[in-house]
Amino acid sequence: MHWFNHSKLFDLARQGQRLPHIAAVIPLSFIFAIVAQFGAIPLVVVLSLTYGFSETGISLEGIPSTLAGFWMSMQLITAFVLVYAILWAWLKWVEKRPFWTLGYEMKDALTQYSRGFLIGAGMFAGAVGILALFGSVSFEQGDPTRQGIAAIGGVILVLIGWVVQGGAEEVLIRGWTLPVIGARYKPWLGLLISSLIFALLHGLNPGLSAIALINLALFGVFAGLYAMREGSMWGISALHSVWNWVQGNFFGFQVSGTDASGGTLINLMETGADWLTGGKFGPEGGLAVTIVLVVGIVIVLFWKSDETVQEVPAQ
């Protein structure tokens, strides 16, 4: 597996004047993610003053689906967009390399993004198929203005927010943490550490279980391998974004323990045992998603292709 040890992501990381020590990369990964969340504070204040609070947080009940989708999208954008700005500043003044070296070369970008979008949708649909096979999912009757055709405006608007959110998590963990550690030390160490950091960043999410934590780490492994093999961040950024969108706003499940506002096209609910369905955490906390991720990892590792890894010459 030449692509594992010689991924283009590692060559891109070496474009800078320095590769940070692992003792700096690990805490900075958490700091960058946490600091970015403060960007949502002004919006949260406005929303809380306008709509008030409910038991689950800011209450957006009773407002049109399209408006709810807009506010959900804005919450995602403001909570994650600073990740891009923080990394840009870090790369410019510390590592001395351009932002695109995080894995965002323009060549084949549209193809990779489109492919990742389709794979992500297909993977989560596969998890729903497993739940259906075991009779562990059923249709749920909800607010008719928040599901089906009536919700399509809000569902589309939320996708914009998921694109920003999914891309932000990927650029931080798989675009920066993994390649910097992998390039300076060993690829397997970058993959392992980045996957554990990704899981721990979700450690305070509601409904977290042991299976959910394992699945988060498995997603980290799958996403890391996908990005390493493709040598780019476009595909995995799209995959992560559409995974969350399909989960929350297409099928109507919890997304890592949180509600997805803005409506849902197909409103489903888990009806089986929590170990399979994920319970309050959503499908990501159950074995149906575990199966999908393990199969995904195996395919990425052993799929035969004629692709070769092109190294980037040092500046």
pLDDT tens for each residue of 66-91: 999 999 999 999 999 999 999 999 99
pLDDT surpassing 80 at residue 58: no
Q: What is the 3-state secondary structure (H, E, C) of 166-185?
A: HHHHHHHHHHHHHHHHHHHC
pLDDT surpassing 80 at residue 305: no
pLDDT band at 144 (very low <50, low <70, confident <90, very high): confident
Separation of alpha carbons 223 and 240, rounded Å: 8
pLDDT band at 9 (very low <50, low <70, confident <90, very high): very high
pLDDT band at 225 (very low <50, low <70, confident <90, very high): very high
pLDDT band at 310 (very low <50, low <70, confident <90, very high): very low
pLDDT band at 260 (very low <50, low <70, confident <90, very high): confident
Separation of alpha carbons 102 and 313, rounded Å: 15
Contact 111, 61 (CB under 8 A): no
End-to-end CA distance of the chain: 26
Element (H, E) at 244: helix 234-245
Separation of alpha carbons 220 and 297, rounded Å: 10
Express each pLDDT in 172-188 by its tens digit.
Answer: 999 999 999 999 999 99
pLDDT at 55: 60
| Average of per-residue pLDDT across 43-58 | 80
Contact 104, 232 (CB under 8 A): yes
pLDDT at 314: 43
Residue keyed to tokens 């974004």: 241
Q: Residues near 23 by Cβ (< 8 Å), separated by ≥ 6?
A: none
Own/partner contacts of 71-74, CB < 8 Å, gap of 24 or more, are: 71/47, 71/261, 72/154, 72/157, 72/158, 72/161, 72/260, 72/261, 72/262, 73/157, 73/158, 73/159, 73/160, 73/161, 73/262, 74/43, 74/161
Instruction: Give the residue extent of every domain in the chain.
Output: 2-302
DSSP, collapsed to helix, strand or coil, labels residue 228 as: helix
| Average of per-residue pLDDT across 271-283 | 93
| Average of per-residue pLDDT across 223-240 | 98
Residue 177 identity: T
CB-based burial of residue 49 (10 Å sphere; 0-12 exposed, 13-18 middle, 19+ buried)? exposed
The more confident residue out of 178 and 2 is: 178
The more confident residue out of 243 and 54 is: 243
Residue 271 identity: T
| Average of per-residue pLDDT across 269-277 | 92
